[in-house]
Amino acid sequence: MKPLLLLFFVAALVSRGDFSSNLPVKIHGVESAVRAVMTAERDLRDIPLREVVVAATGRQVMDLQPDKVPADAAARDHITVAAEKLLVFLNAKDSPVRGLRRINEASRHVEEKLLDLLNAGSFICGYPKTGAGESQRSGYPDLRLEHKESGRVYYLEPKLYEASSESSTLRTFYYEPKDMTGKISNDACHLILGIAHDGKDGVWQFTSWRLADLYDFRVRLKAEFQASNKEFYQEELTVSKSK
């Protein structure tokens, strides 16, 4: 196993609290575990997503080759037609995204309309199942597209973004490896459909789209320790409060 992927496994297992003797690297104590996570974050800064996926799931990220693979050409063309229709749908006066307070609230409508448009002709489109066999909307990837004749699979993630932020370095993508709730169960091409808007809240004009192949896409690990209000506001932690 490559050293960087070994660190990736350590970080993933540490985040789940799994410190069993079956770990690829034995970790003894919290201090060692934290230092392992810090090392993983430092070293996993420029990693191809395809290597992360195969390390986490055993599944390959395939290169989209429309010039060589007929199913890939058909998938690209199918998504292109759907994307054009999606823009018309989003910009219509009676679009369900009109009047929403935040652009994030529009994501559900985009995903559902795109699924409807793609589930046609030579393709089946649906929500990918988790490792436990359950339907789950949250988490990467959003949609699973399959070419009926060849059985070739495409994972598709629609993303809304403000056109002026195309060169922004703020995080807009994350992938969290999980055994039972992970949704990558096939060797597949991984695609992002970016849909740009003008940033005018509630009356957005959707201006363009871009389809990206994630075969050469690179990611970085951000390790963090999390807590919720339930953990914050326990009586045993409270030293004073209002009467």
DSSP codes joined into one string, 208-229 = EEEEEE-TT-EE---------H
Distance between CA atoms of residues 4 and 40, nearest Å: 8
Q: Which residue has the tokens 């219509």?
A: 92
Please indicate, yes or no, whether residues 180 and 212 belong to a single structural domain of this protein: yes
Query: What pLDDT is stored for residue 170 in this prediction?
Result: 78
Mean pLDDT for the stretch of residues 96-115: 93
Considering the domain boundaries, does residue 133 fall inside one?
A: yes
Looking at the structure, do residues 32 and 124 belong to the same domain, yes or no? no
pLDDT in tens, 122-143: 999 999 998 888 878 888 999 9
Of 5-14, 81-90, 159-168, 190-199, minimum mean pLDDT range: 5-14
Residues 111 and 154 in one domain: yes
Same domain, 88 and 4: no
Backbone angles phi, psi at 235, to 5 degrees: -60, -40
Same domain? For 30 and 85 the reply is no
Per-residue model confidence (pLDDT) at position 12: 52
Residue 89 lies in a domain: yes
Residue 22's DSSP bridge partners are none
Residue 77 has pLDDT above 80, yes or no: yes
In a domain, 243, yes or no: no
pLDDT at 8: 52
110/189 same-domain check = yes
Asked if residue 187 and residue 162 are part of one domain, the reply reads yes
Phi and psi for 73 in degrees, rounded to 5?
Answer: -65, -40
Question: Is residue 19 one of the residues assigned to a domain?
Answer: yes
Angle at 116 between CA 187 and CA 216, to 5 degrees: 35
* Shared-domain flag, residues 72 and 129: yes
Q: Does the reported pTM lie above 0.75?
A: yes
pLDDT > 70 in the chain, percent: 88
Note whether residue 50 is domain-resident: no
Per-residue pLDDT, averaged over 171-181, amounts to 80
The verdict on 96 and 157 lying in the same domain is: yes
Q: Does some domain include residue 125? A: yes
Q: From CA 52, how far away is CA 9, in angstroms rounded?
A: 9
**For range 77-97, the mean pLDDT:** 96
What is the DSSP code string of 10-61?
Answer: HHHHHHTT---TTSSS---HHHHHHHHHHHHHHH-SSEEHHHHHHHHHSPPE
Residues 119 and 117: their CA atoms lie apart, in Å, by 6
Report yes or no on 242 lying in a domain.
Answer: no
Q: What is the pLDDT of residue 21?
A: 41
- Rounded CA Rg of the chain: 21
**Segment 50-73, tens digit of pLDDT:** 999 998 899 999 999 999 999 999
Instruction: Indicate the number of domains in the chain.
Output: 2
Parent domain of 71: 61-219
In a domain, 110, yes or no: yes
Is 18 in the same domain as 116?
Answer: no
pLDDT band at 201 (very low <50, low <70, confident <90, very high): confident
Specify the pairing of strand 123-126 against strand 143-147. antiparallel
One-letter amino acid identity for 195? I
Residues 80 and 184 in one domain: yes
Query: Is residue 151 domain-shared with residue 192, that is, in the same domain?
Result: yes
Q: Answer for the pair 114, 86: CB distance below 8 angstroms, yes or no.
A: yes
